[in-house]
Chain A
Amino acid sequence: MRILLLPLITALLSACVIAPLDIQRSELSEARALIAKSKAAGAERCAPEQQATAVARLYMAAHEYSEGDVHPEEQQELVEGSMKAAREAYRVARKGCSKKVEVITLEGVYFETNSDKLTDASVATLNGAVSTLKRRSSIHVEVAAHTDSRGSAAYNLDLSNRRAVSVMAYLTEHGVDAGRLSSKGYGETSPITDNGSAAGRAKNRRVELRIQ
C-alpha cells in the first residue's frame, strides 16, 4: 500500500501547483502581435475598452490552452475574439488618436516684455477663461504658451514655460481646481503665422487652453 501512497500524494500535490497564465505560448502569437500593434497605435488611451477586451480574452485563452485540448472550441473562440477586439482597438485608435485637440486661444492675454508678468489688460480675458473652466467643470486643460521667434529658441522656451505657469497660477487663484490644469511652454516651435512682420509675431505670441 505504501507503494500506492506515493503516487497518490504526488498526484494530489501536483494538482495544487499553480501554472502561470502563459500568454507567450505559440498558439497566441498572432493575437499577441495584433495587441502589440493596437497598443503601439495608442489603443490603451484611445480605445481602452476594446484593448482591454483583447487582452482579457488573451489571458483567458492562455488559461484554456493550459488545460490541454479540453475545450478546443473555447480556445479558438477566445483567440479569435481577442484578435477581433485588437483589430477594432487598432481601428479606433488610428481614427481617434489623430483627432485634433480642442484649443481655446485666449485672445487678449498680454505680458510685460521679456517677462512672465501679466499686464492689467489681460484680466478680462483671464476672467472669461475662469468662467469657462468653471462652467465646463469636467474638462482638464493644458495652459499652453507660445512666443514669436525673436531671441534664442532656448530663451523662448523658458519664457513660454514661465508664462504658462503665470496663467495657470491666475486660474487657480481664481478658483479653478489645480488638478484640472497643467502648463506647458512651446517656445517658438508652433507658430500660427509668419514671424516676418510685427503683426505676425503678435499673433504667434499667444496663450491657449488645450483641452485634454
Chain B
Amino acid sequence: MMRWLLLPALMLVASPVSATSIFTGIEERSKTIYTDLKGNNSYHAHLARKLAIYAGVEKGQADITAARQLMDLADEHARKAGGQ
C-alpha cells in the first residue's frame, strides 16, 4: 500500500525543484532577448519583449508549460527581429 503512495508523494516533492530549474532558463532567455534587442523598435522586437514579459508572469504563477510556450514564441520573434 505504501509503495503506491510513494510515487505521487515523490512527484509532489520533486516538482518544485524541477520547476525552479526550468524557470531559471526562462529568466535567462528573457534577459538575452532584452540585451539582444536593445534599441530595436521593430514589430518583432516589441512582440518578443512583450511575450517574454508574459512568460515571466506565467512563471510567477508556476505555469511551466505556458511560460515555456510564450518564451518559445518570444525567441521566434526575437530571431525575426534579428536579435538572436
Write the residues of chain A forming the contact surface with B, with a CB cutoff of 8 angstroms: 1, 4-5, 8, 12, 18-21, 43-45, 48-49, 51-53, 55-56, 59-60, 63
Residue B50 interfacial (CB < 8 Å) = yes
Chain A residues lying within 8 Å of B43, measured Cβ to Cβ, are 43-45, 48, 51-52
| Cβ contact within 8 Å between B54 and A56 | yes
Chain B residues lying within 8 Å of A45, measured Cβ to Cβ, are 43
| Cβ contact within 8 Å between B4 and A4 | yes
CB distance from B18 to the nearest CB of A (A): 11
| Cβ contact within 8 Å between B11 and A49 | no
Residue B69 interfacial (CB < 8 Å) = yes
Task: Report the count of interface residues on B (CB-CB < 8 A).
Answer: 23
Write the residues of chain B forming the contact surface with A, with a CB cutoff of 8 angstroms: 1, 4, 7-8, 11, 41-47, 49-51, 54, 58, 65-66, 68-70, 73
Separation of A43 and B42 alpha carbons in the complex (Å): 11
Q: Closest residue to A78 on the B side, CB-wise?
A: B54
Known: A18-B65, A52-B43. 4 other contacts (CB 8 A): A1-B4, A5-B4, A18-B69, A45-B43
Q: Choose one: A5, A8, A51, A63; the contact of B69 (CB below 8 Å).
A: A63
CB distance from B49 to the nearest CB of A (A): 8
